[in-house]
Structure 1
Amino acid sequence: MISTDALHDPARTRVAVIGAGHLGEAVLGGLLRAGLPAQDVAVSALPGERAQALADRYGVRAGTDNAAAADGADIALVAVPPSVVPAAAAEIGPALPEGAVAVSLAAAVPLARFEEALGPGRPAARAMTNTAAAVGRAMTALVGGIHLDGAARARVGGLFSRIGSIAWVGEEAMDAVTAVAGSGPGFLYHLAAAMADAAVDQGLPPGEARAAVAQTLYGAASLLREADRGPAELAAEVATPGGTTREALDRLDARGVPEAVAEAVAAAAERSRRLAEGAGHI
């Protein structure tokens, strides 16, 4: 169990990460990077070798027992696959202290199903975040459960604010959020890989191509976040008539890239809805 000093210090938040796969580890790493003490974090993961690797890498307490990781936590982040969420919730619910909040990071599992599995009266929330949490740049959408009071809501929001930006939304918006904020990084990485490969084809060495693409996308994303203009306006500023960017964008439009992106987002959202329908009956 995490130290009793932490137990009585309201300024500290003890966190359990239940099921530290790719997303769980990204959140774990981001929270530690943001200053959460390793001594206040417990992790569960399978197999045992994975748990040991996380303990060695981050200096946190790690094991294979979900209930043991949740014991003494103020916030338990459930980052297991959607099909495993109800079982994991049932394991940690009785182990969490009174007033502790359980947060599901899984796509598609309805909050009501999560709350049911945790047990009566447990404060709970859903979070849709992404692996940019590892560098403190995640976009996290949050949904509060029926037992989540103002203080608990602030505690959950404060935790996720350490790893990026947050927005509280209605659960009806989570399929769209999943498609954009959850799956969106995959879109960008897919684009980045294609850009880097194309740059190599044009004569740039692979290492330099990757570095150029990464910095270009990072800079563009930073400007998009900070500018008072929308993405269409920013694109127009770069795509001067008769120039190289206009030529490139015309080729993308001719290939139906905007329509393909729209289809991709719609497909991801629809997949999230279908998974939610199934998860409601797990």
Structure 2
Amino acid sequence: MTPCDPATDDPVSRFETDLFIPRYDPIRKGAWEIRHADLVFCPGYWSGVRLVSGMAALLRDGQSWMSMTPRELESQEIGIRLARGAVAIVGLGMGWAAAATAMREAVTAVTVVEQDEDVLAIHRELDIFAQLPAAARAKIRVVQGDAFRWRPDGPVDLLMPDIWLPFVSDGRVEEVRRMQDNVRAGAVYFWGQELEIARHAVAAGRALDAAGIAATIADFDLPLIGPACPGYPEKLAAAARQCMAGRWLPGTLPPA
């Protein structure tokens, strides 16, 4: 994740969301820990810089793996908002995606797959899902398993993998396909998918418009959701510009 800068006196809007955000107590287990920052300026995924107070972050050996920042939350919210039925989330992290997904009325069950014992231990101690209403809490089941070997014991309507540290990584689409081969979900939304669509579209000489996005997703051979959302091409292009310009897509994106 891109680190957030300490807050200054520059005016900037405070980040707000209607999605559920748990409270996190500081904790350490093995190489993992949860820390807090009082006031920070953080960039969004497709939005601008926002002020965040009381930001919690999950670190491994001092490196941020997940945080309650605008960039992190925006990068998962499309999948959460479109979730319905039985949802499988691969990668527990801070548990935010699972908690927010369970709060959706259209969702009936949330299964979270996590391999790391220390991450599981953090959640056993913090029990952030206890902060949810009883009906939402009852939907969540956490299982220990390998992302590439886990198979569900029933039909899955939506698969949401989030097992990566960087936003962009070579081979991600193929890794999602490996998980989907085992899960066979009706729909898929994976972390960083807008960036993967953007870089594959640009590599194929396609525009980052509805047609270019649709053609690129067809190449992925995955039942991705998200492109039907209003303003999706604009959000995708903004995320690519903010998260990849100068590295993955040098000189290829038009200005905002």
Structure 1 length as normaliser, TM-score? 0.37
* Larger fraction in strand: 2
Structure 2 length as normaliser, TM-score? 0.40
* Larger fraction in helix: 1
- Give 1 or 2 for the bigger CA radius of gyration: 1
